[in-house]
Every structure is written in structure tokens, then in C-alpha cells.
Structure 1
Amino acid sequence: MPWAEHDAAAMIAIPTAVSDKYSRGVLGVVTGSSAYPGAAVLGVEAAARTGVGMIRYLGDATDPVLARRPEVVSAPGRVQAWLIGSGTDAQDLGLLGALFSDALASVEPVVADAGALESVALAPRRGVIVTPHFRELARMLAATGTSVDVDDIAAAPGRWAIWAANQLGVTVLLKGSTTWIAEPDGPHLSVSVAPPWTATAGAGDVLAGILGALLATHSAAATEPGMLARLAASAAVIHGLAASIASRGGPIVALDIAERVPDAVRRLLGAVRA
């Protein structure tokens, strides 16, 4: 089922006069590495601009993250959702691997990307959204003993998103020109908003940050049937709309998308109020 702008608008948490940084959601982030610090910067930037009360960054790129976003907290503490894995290598995780395990063993909902995907495949649980592209999904399935060719996934991404969600027991957001979202025994959604210019390095890190923020602001409702799929699809809509606003028909880079996220949110909310 296609997920549209008016659907995504309903998933945006609007603060009130009594809101504080905790009621607006606290997102714990374990992303980035010495090899890929930019992934952490992009994800944190996107999450902050989507609308979340606080971000706790616990990854390996603290200095560049704080240089870009000094309001980020770099000490452990309470969180309402996790974003893990962007910009990390599953083959050399070290301490990050332990932090991934802690997040996946917690009761909080989790967005798992890139280097955390194999950890989810080997120890899946409900309350987790994975954000693979075609090759990453093939690797996830291979880790569970299912061999599938990347070309087969590319030929029928919607079907494979559904199959993987039911097989792994997690919500799958499968990235591509059309983004496919599937929740185990739940809704199957698709989003086709982003312009082709969105196919650029780091765009997936931005999407993960947007989704992490939405998950943190709706953590209390994360166990409701279909909620994770709706949040994932809404993140894809915001991401694609921000990319369209940034592009205006021309080339963009990932940071351009992150910086236009507030414009995308305002556009969605404006359409609802009109």
C-alpha cells in the first residue's frame, strides 16, 4: 500500500506548552567509526532536525559529532529509542559490538543500520526496524542460512521485504528507488517520493537518523500493531521530501537532505492544517 504525505504528517509529534526534552523523546545513538565518522554526523544531524528532545551519542565519532551539533549529550543515560550501526563495519566492531548487543537486549525500540544488521539477523526481536539496501539484505539472510542473489531482491524488492520481515521477525525498510516497508504479520507499505538525485553517499545515514527521531518520539506506542511500519514509511516520506526540496531538480549531497528536513516537516504539517 502506498504511504503518502498526509499519512506521514499524522506520525509527526508536535510539542505542546508542557513538553520538555524528555517527553519529546531521547534518542541513543551508536553510529560512526574512525573510518566512517561522517555517517554519525549525518545521522545525528538528521535526527536533531526531525524533532527530538535530546540525542545521546555513544559512538566512535564524538569529536566531529559535537563539532557539528554541540547540543548532543555524549554521556550514557536514559533513552527512549536507539539508532545503531550506521558507518560501522560488522567485521571490526570492538566496543561498538557490545553496545549494539546492549541496545538489542534492552526494552527500547531500535533502528539498526549497516554494521548492526548482522547482529539483528543473528538475534532478532520485535521492536526492531532494519534499514538495509539490497546487498545488505542479502547478507542478512545469508547470516541466517538463506542464500539469495542480490539481483533477485532487486527484481522483486517488495516481496523480499515481506519475506524477510516474516523470516527474521523484525520490521524491514528496504531502501531503493521505491522504499518498501514490511512488518511481520503487519502492514506492507511503499514510498516513492525521493528524486533520483537522492542516490548519493550518506543519504541512508540521513534516513536512519530521521527514523530514529520518529521512533524516539513515539516510543510509548512502538508496540502497537503496525506502528513501526508506519513510522518507517513516514521517515521515508520525510527523507524523500527533504531531498526534493534540497534538489530542486539538481544534484545534492547527503548533508543537503538533512538540512532540509525541517522544511519537509513544515510542509507536511502545513498541508494538514490547510
Structure 2
Amino acid sequence: MIERFNFFDIYGYLLPGLAFLGLMWLPFGLTVGYWPPAEWGSALVALVLGYLAGHLIFGLAERAIPPKMRDTQGELRFPSDILLDDGNDNFSPELKSRLVDRILIRFGIDITDAGNPEPEVRGKRRKDAFFLCRSAVKQKEAASYAEQMQGMYVLMQSLTVVCLLAAVYHFGWALAMFVPVSLLDGTLYLIAAGTVLAALWHDSGKLFWLIPILFFFLGGWLGTGNVIGYEMFSVLLGICFTLLFIALRCHTAYRTFAWSFAETVYRDFCGL
């Protein structure tokens, strides 16, 4: 999918993966005082693990937060599709007319509302047209800004999931002092089994909702092995709410960058 280590690898995989590993380790550092060694070998291992974890986070984020927005009718559609609607005014009439004509001439695809009365057919044609425009821009080596927008929206998308999982994970740590270990053990095994079954059945909807629950009980299970006083309980709870706030902000930024990415691809294509 990616021919070389580039902007997308760093923003789409490495940074979210490192953030995930760091937040998973944070409660251990706060409660036990043990932090990862600051050696070159350990840093290299962390980079490799972060990159691999980033791929998993990206796959989960794509299923949990698909890059679709609600149009004026309340239906979920891709920004690249909505931008081409006759009633959408993100582009000037002149630019939209030029874009429609260039796509029709170069690719032979009619993306207008009038030429596609069926919404499903119109969506498929516009999706094909967008990817063709993106390929044309990349071939001309004019896609640097568009790639940055894509990297940023994927970064925000993945960080939303990372912060959400880390929030429930820290919440589990905070509540560990109030929950019996036996209850946590049994519940953790049940949720883990359900997550594996959902993954085997490829039911992404169930898998997404089971994973945060799994992280909550995982945090509680790990927290029972450490002495957590009321002061540390307050710290962990504060981190939990902070992460939830960051997740909301990242989700808002993700939506903004998703729109900007689609707009940039179309504008760059018109400028070829």
C-alpha cells in the first residue's frame, strides 16, 4: 500500500502507535514509578512496536470512525461525494464547472446530479472519479499538500480512537481499588473471548464496542496489582477526563482535515 516510508507512515502509523504505547504505560509509571529505559536500543524497539501498533489502530479507526459526513438530507456520505452536489457551495461555480468538465473529458465519468438520478450509482461514479483525480495528481508529483491533509486527518482519526481507549483504560485503573479481583478476572476473560469471536466473525461493529470495554477491564485488572490511594485515584480520573476531551477535539479536527483533503485533491486536479 505504501512504497516507501513517507509522511503518511509517520502521521498515520508511527505517531498514533507511539501515543498508544505511551498512554498504556503511563499508569505503571505513575503508580509504580517505573519508566521505560532511555537507551537507544529501547528507543528503537519502541519505534518498531509503535509503528506496528499504529497499523492496528489505523485499521480499528477506519471501522470505528469511517470518513463519512452527513449531507443536507442527513445521510452519511464521503466528503468527496458531497462536494460535487449541485447544492454544495464549498467550490465556486466556475471551479465546480471546470472540475466536472475535466473529469468527464479525461475519465469519461459523469458526476453531475442530473446525469446520475440513482444515488448509489452517483456515489460509485464520484468515488471512482475522486481516486482517479488523486492518482493523476500524484503522477504529476503535485500531491504534497494533499498528502499532508490526508496524513493529518488520519492522525486525528487514529488519535481519537487512541484517546478513547486510553480514557477507559485509565478509568479502569482508577476504579481498581473498589472492585474485587475475582470479578475483574472473570469479566476480563469473557470480554476477551467475545472480542476474539467478533474478530473471527468479521463483525466490525461488535468488535469496536467490545474493545473499549475490554480496555476498561484490562485497566482494572492491571490496577489491582498495584496500591492505588485516593490521591492517585484522583490523578487517574483526571487523566481519563482529559483524554476524553482530547478525543473530542481530535474528532473535530479529523472532520475538518477530511474535508480539506477532498477539496485539495479536486483543486490540484483542476490546476494540472
Q: Structure 1 length as normaliser, TM-score?
A: 0.24
**Greater relative contact order structure (CA < 8 Å, 6+ sep):** 2
Query: When you count helix as a share of all residues, which structure comes out higher?
Result: 2
TM value normalised by structure 2: 0.25
More strand by percentage: 1
